[in-house]
Amino acid sequence: MKILHLFSDWKWTGPAEPALDLCVELKKRGHDVTLACGKAMDDYPFPPDSESVEKSAYERGLVPVTRFNLCKHFRLFKAISDVKNLSAFMNDEEYDIVHVHRCQDHLVGGIAARRTGRFLPVVRTSHDGVALKKGIRNNICLVRLTDKLITVSEMARTADMKNFGLSKDKVIMINASIDCCRFNPGDGHLVHREKFGIKKDDIVVGIIARIQTHRRFDILLKAIKIASQEIPRLKLMVIGRGTKEKQLLTEPAKTMGLEKVVIHTGYRTGDYVEAVSCMDFNIFLMPGTDGSCRAVREVMAMGKPVIAANRGMLSTIVDDNVTGFVIDDTPENLAMATVRLAKDSELRKKMAEASLKKAQDVFSQESMAEKVESVYKELLS
């Protein structure tokens, strides 16, 4: 099959990685795949000190098309230009399928596909685990410009069908995927600890999140304060950055006497996997910009138990008392779950094995690509 994927942004944000990963997997399966995305900047091939979809595509062996505007936000004249040029491009290249990933590329790509004068199916993936927002644009896109909608949670699937009057056969749930080869248990969690000043016998609980007010760092630190009084060897590893690091993490940790407990690694790129491998288990309190909670799946693929708040789709990824704990995230509940995992090495091992198995069975890229491929074949048949 010849497949055109559209991504209306140049920034490396939440939905970008799963979109690119899908392109790579489909290419491995023998399909002719093209990715068209927004152009980074006129003055630079890639923005300095910034990640871009274009750059990441090249790193994955894709040659992205950046001749179209494909803006993240609606711009009338640029949208009109994209519809005209994309429609001609789709016909010239004789694509079989158009796959869109964001609201704006859905609009221009959907209209362009309908203007080709032939049957060119449009598939949309909604990468957030929640329902798409009600509104005129989404209503037009989903009702008139979509042949199949893919969601990453049953909750989103049910809500989208209800909100937009979509039939059951028009919407399918396919689990978001991660690279199980990159994220794997490897040599174990002790190998890279020295790099981050962690001792071998420390119990490390980690969190991967942008340091923002709504990410509930106040609840986290209160829980770690309680737990560390019972588990002297407890360490909290924080992977992430934010404009309010001092206000939300550094200063409160100092005030609470947690300077030697909290290890803030900042944002990691080249050694992200190594940093995550140092953790014994993880905490996730809020879904981030990536509503599919990608980081949760990554740590599960590395064989880590997860303590998850009962929010968003976290409770559908983590199986309570199997791959971790799902809790109402008060400081007391979070501390109790942390202490229980920190004290019981056999429980950690059991949950780690369950996490790894679920990631490999349910969240692999191969499984996801196979299911998406089936959607394409169904539409073309």
Region 197-221: mean pLDDT is: 92
The two structure tokens encoding residue 85: 């040029």
- Say what the pTM is: 0.84
Q: Is 286 or 35 the better-scoring residue by pLDDT?
A: 35
Quote the mean pLDDT of the chain.
92
Dist CA 309 CA 110 (whole Å): 37
- Spell out the domain ranges in the chain: 2-177+365-380, 193-362
- Judged by average pLDDT, the poorest of 57-66, 256-265, 310-319, 338-347 is 310-319
pLDDT at 49 over 80: no
Cα 258 from Cα 142, distance rounded (Å)? 49
For residue 166, which amino acid is it?
Answer: L
CATH topology (fold) of 2-177+365-380: Rossmann fold (3.40.50)
Res. 187: pLDDT tops 80:
no
* pLDDT, tens digit, 9 for 90 and up, residues 278-324: 999 999 998 766 667 888 999 999 999 999 999 888 988 999 999 99
Q: Tell me the fold of 193-362.
A: Rossmann fold (3.40.50)
With the C-alpha atoms ordered 339, 345, 346, 349, is the resulting torsion angle positive or negative?
positive
Give the number of C-alpha atoms closer than 13 A to the C-alpha of residue 165, restricted to the C-beta side.
Answer: 5
Q: What is the pLDDT of residues 50-81, one digit of tens each?
A: 578 999 999 999 999 999 999 999 999 999 99
Q: Distance between terminal CA atoms of the chain?
A: 12
Count of CB atoms within 10 A of residue 118's CB? 9
DSSP codes, 189-219: TTTTGGGGT--TT-EEEEEE----GGG-HHH
